[in-house]
Structure 1
Amino acid sequence: MSDLSELRFFRTPAHPCSYLEGQQAATLFVDPQVRLNAALYSELSLLGFRRSGDYLYRPHCEACHACLPARVRVADFQPRRRQKRILQRNSDLIVRQEPSRYTREFYRLYSLYIRERHGDGDMYPPSEEQFSSFLTCAWTDTRFYCFRDPATKKLLAVAVTDALKDGLSAVYTFFDPAAAERGLGVNALLWQIEECRRLGLPYLYLGYWISECRKMSYKSQYRPLELLINDEWQEFHPPTPPGRRSPIA
């Protein structure tokens, strides 16, 4: 393991949080001058760091600790009934790993997705420079898992995924909003879990889970889910609403 104590980090100034209204956020970045590589990335992922473009970062807010790194324990994952239906619905798709790069085809789908699904977010409006600086990376193994219609070969979804020592990291998924009935985002995540299983990797890293953010609530549907709490990975047990049984499917 590398001597992480020798790394330098930079903290951004406080800025409005993208996930919790009224909160101020700050981010810790690994010094951009450090020569990053896949091995260091894997070590820092264990400490809750994520990749955005060529940068590694982690939330570092003074008054809030709501962002908890999350990962799926692959060996014990069993799809729930709804997830099985989505897998069946998309079993016809052709899935191929393609190089992580800018192409017009990738960007058209990405731009459509951002405009249709995230027009009110901080990623709007999309741009070609944004696509490359956010999704691609020069120093690690980034894969574009592409999901295509079997008849037309039309690109329907792309799961941007990084290879780590102990798993895969689901960086971002974008898909055709016109094919909403397929559940392409859910299917891509389930597919990545199965890809971890095929590769003999124990974890799929999902980024951050925030209990009070509805945008993040979907992550609790992939169990067993582990959260990094007080520098220790712990299994997450969602509370069961009063008067209801704990869901089993």
Structure 2
Amino acid sequence: MRHTLPIAPQFYVTAPQPCPYLEGRMERKLFTALQGDGAQRLNDTLSKQGFRRSQNVLYRPSCADCAACLSARVNVENFTASRSQRRTIRRNRHLDRRATSPWATEEQYALFREYLEDRHANGGMADMDTFEFAAMIEETPIRTRVVEYADGETGELVAVCLTDVFDDGVSMVYSFYDPNRPRDSLGTYIILDHIDIAREAGLPYVYLGYWVPGSAKMGYKAAFSGLEVYSGGEWQPMRDPADFESHRHPLSNDPIAEQVANIALPDGKPLRNRKY
């Protein structure tokens, strides 16, 4: 028997679990499946509303008593590299960029393990095996590339970024790099190079994932000029990071039903106004 997918995506909420960014908080995610012929359009549309992709799922933080996680993107036209960022670009001029189809390799996985063991030994990905790594890279229903950075002299792979392509930009889904090159600031360099990638492709934005005021892990994103955050249902230029501290207040988040009702789908209609 043939079963057809519902006209509108179905949204679900995860069970609360400890927040990885703010100590003492609990996180909860709103998510929907990313599948079918309309996957690319759905991804493009929801990403502009603060959602992120993980394999074939789109998710957005929807915590009961906190709204600190703000989707962040760099407006390429408004970006100007700082003196420190220009030094980072010069230090990494010897790297060669190569963009490939989303296919996992043993070399990537070895670098990934080295990165995790040095930077995130106790994180949620610490136990990821080769099959799970391959799924993270390869299970994508949309336009995705693996951007690799190799030493131009030795050919050694030193950094990798799983990158989605939207109709208005590129999204850095996950990146990792050689942790034994701290002077090279490879994490910053990957972002700077993706700004160049977007500029070369004529795309206006580079999506960086979530910025969290008060989280040291996410503070580096505020160092990029032209940064915008999705707050209050719209994208707005980053001001003083302290202006967003109120998002950690227990009353800062809308009820989950209200959040879902206000989600706009590819046809432009919010879920609250749809007729079935």
Taking structure 1 as the reference length, the TM-score comes to 0.90
CA RMSD of aligned residues (A): 1.8
1:21 to 2:14 alignment: no
Q: Contact conserved, 1:70 with 1:206, CA < 8 A, in 2? A: yes
C-alpha spacing 1:35/1:19, structure 2 compared with 1 (3 Å) = farther
Q: Contact conserved, 1:157 with 1:173, CA < 8 A, in 2? A: yes
Moved more, 38-47 or 136-145: 136-145
Per the alignment, residue 74 of structure 1 pairs with 76
Secondary structure of the structure 2 residue equivalent to 1:227: strand
Q: 1:31, CA displacement in angstroms?
A: 3.7
Give unpaired runs (5+ residues) of structure 1: 241-249
Per the alignment, residue 56 of structure 1 pairs with 58
- Amino acid of the structure 2 residue aligned with 1:108: A
Per the alignment, residue 164 of structure 1 pairs with 166
Structure of greater Rg: 2
- Amino acid of the structure 2 residue aligned with 1:24: M
Taking structure 2 as the reference length, the TM-score comes to 0.82
Q: 1:170, CA displacement in angstroms?
A: 0.8
Q: 1:35, CA displacement in angstroms?
A: 5.8
Residues 7-45 of structure 1, C-alpha deviations (whole Å, 9 max, x = no match): 210101111111111111111111467665222100010
Per the alignment, residue 204 of structure 2 pairs with 202
Residues 177-231 of structure 1, C-alpha deviations (whole Å, 9 max, x = no match): 1222211111111000111011000000111111010000000011111111111
C-alpha spacing 1:11/1:155, structure 2 compared with 1 (3 Å) = same
Give unpaired runs (5+ residues) of structure 2: 1-5, 243-276
Matches of 1:131 and 1:223 in 2, distance apart? Answer: 32
Per the alignment, residue 115 of structure 1 pairs with 117
Secondary structure of the structure 1 residue equivalent to 2:160: strand
Per the alignment, residue 10 of structure 2 pairs with 8
Per the alignment, residue 30 of structure 1 pairs with 32
C-alpha spacing 1:95/1:239, structure 2 compared with 1 (3 Å) = closer
Matches of 2:125 and 2:30 in 1, distance apart? Answer: 20
1:43 to 2:45 alignment: yes
Between the two proteins, what is the percent identity of the paired residues? 38
Residues 131-161 of structure 1, C-alpha deviations (whole Å, 9 max, x = no match): 1233333311111111111111010101111
Matches of 1:211 and 1:172 in 2, distance apart? Answer: 20
1:96 to 2:95 alignment: no
Secondary structure of the structure 1 residue equivalent to 2:181: helix
Secondary structure of the structure 2 residue equivalent to 1:178: coil
Matches of 1:11 and 1:163 in 2, distance apart? Answer: 26
- Amino acid of the structure 2 residue aligned with 1:110: F
Q: Contact conserved, 1:14 with 1:25, CA < 8 A, in 2? A: yes
Matches of 1:73 and 1:136 in 2, distance apart? Answer: 28
Q: Contact conserved, 1:54 with 1:136, CA < 8 A, in 2? A: no
Q: 1:128, CA displacement in angstroms?
A: 1.2
Matches of 1:32 and 1:70 in 2, distance apart? Answer: 21
- Amino acid of the structure 1 residue aligned with 2:40: A
Matches within 5 A, 1:116-195: 116-195=118-197
Per the alignment, residue 248 of structure 2 pairs with none
Q: Contact conserved, 1:144 with 1:160, CA < 8 A, in 2? A: yes
Moved more, 86-95 or 33-42: 33-42
Residues 91-129 of structure 1, C-alpha deviations (whole Å, 9 max, x = no match): 111111122112111111111111111102121133113
C-alpha spacing 1:25/1:239, structure 2 compared with 1 (3 Å) = closer
Q: Contact conserved, 1:115 with 1:125, CA < 8 A, in 2? A: no
Moved more, 202-211 or 126-135: 126-135
- The total of aligned residue pairs comes to 237
- Amino acid of the structure 2 residue aligned with 1:114: L
- Amino acid of the structure 2 residue aligned with 1:23: R
Moved more, 136-145 or 225-234: 136-145
